[in-house]
Amino acid sequence: MEIKARSISKGKACGEVLLSTEPIGFLGGVDPETGNVIEKGHVLEGQNISGKILVFPNGKGSTVGSYIMLQLAKNGKAPVAIINVAAEPIIITGAIISGIPMVDEPNQDIFSVLKNGQIVEVDGEKGIISFQ
C-alpha cells in the first residue's frame, strides 16, 4: 500500500514506525547521545527514536532543535526517516542538514493507518510512504 505525501528531505529509508501523537521539541526533549525521549510527561517519554520511522504532528520548542537532530545523526542515533503532519522550519532544516529523509502532509490520517512497530518505507524525494 502507498500513501502520498509531500517531499521535504531527500533519501529513502525503511524501518519500524514509532508514533507520537504529540509534537516533539528536540532541544531538551530528546537526548542527543542516546536518542531517548526525555521530556517529562511526553507520550514517548523513555522511548528511543534511533533507527525508527518517527511519526509526529509537528515540531515545537526551541529553534536549536535542528542542531540536536544533527548531533543525533552524527552519533548514529537519529530516526531513519521522519513523517510529519505539517512540517515546520526547525524540523525541515534539521532533516536537510542531517540527511534524514522526510515527508509531510500525508493524504490519509497517518495515526489511524500506521501502527507502532509496523515496517514502512519512506521515499523523501518522491514523497511516498509505502508498506505491506
By CB under 8 A, which span of 12-20, 47-55, 57-65, 116-124 interacts with other proteins? 57-65
Q: Which is nearer to other proteins, 107 or 116 (CB)?
A: 107
Q: Could you say whether residue 22 binds other proteins (CB under 8 A)? A: no
User: How far apart (Å, rounded) are the C-alpha atoms in residues 61 and 38?
Assistant: 14
Q: Work out whether 36 is an interface residue with other proteins (CB under 8 A).
A: no
Residues 129, 122 contacting (CB under 8 angstroms): yes
Q: Provide the annotated active-site residues.
A: 62
- 52 by DSSP, 3-state: which? strand
Of 11-19, 46-54, 62-70, 110-118, the segment contacting other proteins by CB under 8 A is 62-70
Cα 32 from Cα 58, distance rounded (Å): 19
Between CA 8 and CA 84 the distance in angstroms is 10
Measure the CA–CA gap between 1 and 132, rounded to whole angstroms.
6
Rounded to the nearest whole angstrom, what is the least distance from the CB of residue 43 to other proteins in the complex? 14
Per-residue string for binding with other proteins, 105-124, x by CB under 8 A?
--------------------
Q: What's the rounded Cα separation, in Å, for the pair 83 and 111?
A: 11
* N residues, the chain: 132
Residue 44 binding other proteins, by CB under 8 A: no
Which chain residues interact with other proteins by CB under 8 A?
6, 8-9, 23, 25, 27-29, 32, 38-40, 58-68, 70-71, 73-75, 86-90, 92-94, 96-97, 104
